[in-house]
């Protein structure tokens, strides 16, 4: 618990240096409308595995896929029930099609096992079409997998490092179809802030107009419309200058983010705490098992039996009532929370209770 709060303080205090808002480039806080990535996905087969492929009795779709592939290649195949495919695995293939991608451009792909293959190490993805959300084929993938993991098994024991059922193929796909990307319609381009904020939208408009004259106007708390040159070359040069304009962000809203699975807690510099009192106790459940084996006499004719003897103890524990003073800055908030002495799991409940009581002046988000 002590080490957790040391790490907690390190994470929180690392944010103290950012208490003074610094200017940010426009490209870091906004994107141009229409300039976006597109997700691609496909279904394929990985071959060449060393006996670590799908168990075909439990994954009939793998057998059917192999039959379809061989049939398309003009190969006569036996009935599906007689095929033993230990070196083949059915996989899903995913990739990201970036904006302005052109035919022939390489893409990185991620290959993930769809069945019960033990490992994809050493496998080769055979030609797989990658489709977009509209069902059209935009890229073709093929190549040798790189699996960032290792595994070994012997005598019923096994050791595994990292994930063996997922691999990557750098530059493993080739773009076959492009997606038109329009930089605005007519004389305007549209900027979309990554986070909706009326104050930030107003500052962006002011920063742009101070550089280019009255060319920008905010449509709402997220979208800013900018008048740009019509000529393509001039528009690109204009946007290159536009995205490097620096803007001083508005004051952030207080927010606390908690990862309930790992116990990580992160809060920004705007978090405050009103005076309150917290009484916190620990609940400890201890289970002790003493398993024994009962052996009958040699001539009794009985059987050896296992007897499980388990005892359960519960210690509710009592914690003192801690009075938390008003904390108006990040350093005071960290000291107040550390004074409670809660575990990472308990800290989530404490912050939620403080939020419900109105003592925590911040938005609480659990991920």
Q: What is the CATH number of the domain that holds 230?
A: 3.30.70
Same domain, 234 and 262: no
Question: What is the total count of domains within the chain?
Answer: 3
Residues 42 and 74 in one domain: yes
Q: Are residues 243 and 261 in the same domain?
A: no
- H-type alpha helices, the chain: 2-13, 26-29, 60-72, 198-212, 232-242, 330-340, 344-357
Q: Tell whether 278 and 359 lie within a shared domain.
A: yes
pTM beyond 0.85, yes or no = no
Q: Which two tokens stand for residue 47?
A: 């071959």
**Which residues contact residue 173 at a Cβ distance below 8 angstroms, ignoring those fewer than 6 apart?**
40, 93, 95, 106, 107, 108, 109, 130, 139, 140, 141, 142
Each residue's pLDDT tens digit, 135-194:
999 999 999 999 886 665 555 556 666 678 899 999 999 999 999 887 766 789 999 999
Last residue in a domain, options 217, 247, 277? 247
The whole-angstrom distance between residue 356's C-alpha and the CA centroid of its chain comes to 29
In a domain, 29, yes or no: no
Find residue 137's DSSP bridge partners.
131
Containing structural domain, residue 108: 38-149+160-175
Residue 27 lies in a domain: no
Q: Is 90 exceeded by the pLDDT of residue 19? A: no
Residues 164 and 59 reside in one and the same domain: yes
213 and 232 in a single domain? The answer is yes
Residues 13 and 54 both lie in one domain: no
Tell me the per-residue pLDDT of 71-119, one tens digit each, with 9 for 90 and over. Answer: 889 888 876 556 778 899 999 999 999 999 999 999 999 999 998 888 8
Q: Which residue has the higher pLDDT, 262 or 33?
A: 33
- Of 216, 247, 278, the one marking the end of a domain is 247
Rounded to a whole number of angstroms, the CA Rg of the chain reads 30
For 153-167, letters b (16+ CB in 10 Å) and e give: eeeeeeeeeeebbbb
């Amino acid at each position: 618990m002590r080490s957790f709060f040391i790490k907690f303080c390190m994470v929180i205090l690392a944010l103290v240096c950012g208490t003074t808002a610094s200017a940010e480039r426009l490209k870091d806080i906004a994107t141009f409308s229409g300039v976006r990535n597109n997700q691609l996905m496909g279904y394929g087969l990985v071959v060449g595995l060393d006996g670590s492929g799908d168990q075909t009795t439990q994954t009939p779709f793998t057998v059917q896929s192999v039959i379809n592939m061989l049939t398309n290649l003009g190969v006569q195949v036996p009935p599906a029930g007689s095929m033993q495919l230990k070196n083949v695995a059915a996989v899903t293939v995913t990739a990201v099609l970036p904006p302005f991608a052109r035919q022939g451009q390489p893409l990185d792909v991620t290959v993930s096992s769809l069945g019960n293959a033990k490992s994809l190490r050493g496998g080769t993805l055979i030609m797989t079409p990658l489709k977009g959300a509209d069902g059209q084929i935009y890229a073709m993938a093929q190549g040798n997998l790189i699996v960032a993991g290792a595994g070994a098994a012997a005598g019923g024991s096994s050791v595994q490092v990292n994930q063996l059922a997922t691999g990557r193929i750098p530059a493993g796909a080739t773009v076959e179809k492009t997606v038109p990307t329009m930089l605005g319609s007519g004389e305007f381009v549209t900027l979309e802030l990554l986070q909706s904020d009326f104050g930030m939208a107003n500052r962006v408009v002011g920063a742009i107009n101070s550089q280019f004259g009255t060319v920008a106007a905010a449509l709402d708390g997220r979208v800013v419309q900018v008048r740009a040159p019509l000529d393509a070359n001039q528009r690109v040069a204009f946007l290159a200058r536009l995205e490097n304009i620096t803007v001083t962000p508005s004051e952030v809203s207080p927010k606390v983010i908690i990862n309930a699975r790992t116990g990580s807690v992160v809060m920004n510099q705007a978090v405050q705490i009103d005076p309150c009192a917290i009484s916190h106790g620990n609940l400890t459940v201890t289970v002790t098992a003493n398993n024994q084996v009962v052996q009958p006499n040699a001539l009794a004719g009985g059987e050896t039996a296992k007897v499980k003897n388990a005892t359960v103890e519960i210690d509710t524990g009592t914690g003192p009532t801690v009075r938390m003073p008003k904390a108006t800055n990040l350093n005071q908030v960290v000291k107040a929370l550390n004074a409670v002495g809660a575990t990472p799991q308990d800290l989530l409940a404490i912050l939620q209770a403080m939020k419900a009581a109105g003592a925590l002046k911040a938005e609480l988000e659990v991920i």
